Amino acid sequence: MGFSVSLDELLGDEVRRDPYPYYARLHELGEAAALPPTAPYAAVVHGYDAAHRVLRDPVFRVLDADHLDRSGLRWRDHPVIRTLQASMFNAPPDEHARLRQLFGQALTARRVAALEPAILRIADGLLDGLAEAGADGRPVDFMAAFALPLPSAVVGELLGVPQRDRDWFPSRVRAFDAVLEIGPRSFREIRAANAAAEELTGYFAALVAARRAEPRDDLVSALVRIRDEQPDQLTEAELSANLIVMYNAGFRTTANLFGNGLALLTARPAALAALRADPSLAPAYVEEILRYEPPVHFAVRYAAEDTEIAGVTVAKGRSVLVLTGAANRDPRRFTAPDSFDPSRRDNRHLAFSGGPHYCLGAALGRAEGRLVLPRLLDRFPGLTLAEAPGERRELMLRGHDRLPVHVVAPHTDRSVRTVRVDLAEPS
């Protein structure tokens, strides 16, 4: 049997730089495609309807501890994998439902709405810093100065991470998240991820202890109260692991929403001008940015029993690669999917996944985009990229490492000329 889909091609540099031509070729094959028996996945699932089904079908499950045990992986030797397995991210159905319900008690719509003044306050402070750094026309790295610190501070406010500690997180979060990327990881990356997991676990264990001793009006305090009132429903390890995953997911994805969105809009002056003229369009722009350039391009599920998806057989125990980034460009579901169109209707993308594992922080990420994107554009009418965006090579947490911008037009001549005028009468 011949196979028309190559996983090696997906992992190659060309597709990592720009996966969309590869996705377009996949769509010509249907909604799913079988991979060779030697591949780590039985199939790639790239059509919107097929991906939508896999994410919701209880037959397809996340890679839980039982699945990893059957695969023969020594995952318990790695703190980063132990942390992920103790979180909702990879919990089996019953445990996931329990954890989701408990964390949902604390992460309410009211709590997210109450954060809106803090989001605007944090954004305004960072915009002031961006303006100062770029006042003379010098380029400023938008990611370092704004896109990363904004959601990091917001999720810090939500959880109750003290402001003095927030600069400590980004390097550790980046090291931790490296293991989520598709394809093999180097020993150096795994070692760094394990070290980051241990440091993050220690930090949140200490924060939990502090909030237990002195509760505050934050998410950690609320979760500690739930843990202490229902000790048989939430272990200390689960509490710490889920706080780590919530913090990591809460700022990396939103940072990439801002970075990817700014790169898109500066390349489309008409779309940028329309949003600047009418800030009420921001929610639609956020949704289209998420569909067109999602921060997360894939998920992995395994079959708990023999099944099929879009005509492709999947044996019990085999996993499938769900390309949500491709599903968001499916021409069967979206008209002109490769066009950036914030006016499109029925824009139900899969950027936040779907089914039981739909992103718990989706409402917060949307709120940050809706509130902050118009404020950024209003503050800097002359905002432009200082250079072409660099290459992106990740499919998980896909975004720009750097994005230099001009917040004001750069000076053509920065030299200062001094002219001496002598007003004295000649002798």
Question: What's the whole-model pTM score?
Answer: 0.93
- Please report the domains of the chain, with CATH numbers, ordered by start residue: 7-406 (1.10.630.10)
Of 52, 56, 55, 64, nearest to 95 (Cα)?
Answer: 64
d(CA 18, CA 9) in angstroms, rounded, equals: 12
Two tokens at 21?
A: 């031509």
d(CA 285, CA 279) in angstroms, rounded, equals: 10
Sign of CA dihedral 3, 315, 182, 53: positive
**402 close to 139: Cβ distance less than 8 angstroms:** no
**315 close to 410: Cβ distance less than 8 angstroms:** no
d(CA 228, CA 249) in angstroms, rounded, equals: 25
Burial of 291 (0-12, 13-18, 19+ CB in 10 A): buried
Give residue 107's pLDDT: 83
Distances in whole angstroms, Cα of residue 354 to Cα of each of 33, 49, 298, 348, 399: 21, 12, 12, 10, 21
Sign of CA dihedral 353, 359, 364, 368: negative
- Counting Cα atoms < 13 Å in the Cβ hemisphere of 368 gives 29
Two tokens at 368?
A: 């940050």
249 CB contacts (<8 Å, ≥6 apart)?
359, 361
Secondary structure, 3-state, 323-391: CHHHHCCCCCCCCCCCCCCCCCCCCCCCCCCCHHHCCCCHHHHHHHHHHHHHHHHHHCCCCEECCCCCC
Of 114, 113, 140, nearest to 128 (Cα)?
Answer: 140
Two tokens at 119?
A: 């989001």
β-pairing, 43-45 with 319-322? parallel
234 CB contacts (<8 Å, ≥6 apart)?
99, 102, 223, 226, 227
**259 close to 403: Cβ distance less than 8 angstroms:** yes
CB atoms within 10 A of CB 391: 11
Question: Helix axis angle, 116-133 relative to 149-159, nearest 10°?
Answer: 150
Of 231, 251, 246, 253, nearest to 200 (Cα)?
Answer: 246
Of 246, 231, 280, nearest to 378 (Cα)?
Answer: 280
Distances in whole angstroms, Cα of residue 390 to Cα of each of 263, 286, 290, 304, 419: 10, 22, 19, 41, 43
Give residue 411's pLDDT: 58
d(CA 50, CA 309) in angstroms, rounded, equals: 7
Distances in whole angstroms, Cα of residue 30 to Cα of each of 4, 129, 258, 290, 299: 12, 49, 32, 23, 19
* pLDDT tens by residue, the chain, 427 residues: 456 788 899 999 999 999 999 999 999 999 999 999 989 999 999 999 999 999 999 999 999 999 999 988 899 999 999 999 999 999 999 999 999 998 888 888 888 899 999 999 999 999 999 999 999 999 999 999 999 999 999 999 999 999 999 999 999 999 999 999 998 889 999 999 999 999 999 999 999 999 999 999 999 999 999 999 989 889 999 999 999 999 998 889 999 999 999 999 999 999 999 999 999 999 999 999 999 999 999 999 999 999 999 999 999 999 999 999 999 999 999 999 999 999 999 999 999 999 999 999 999 999 999 999 999 999 999 999 999 998 899 999 999 999 999 998 775 443 333 333 333 333 3
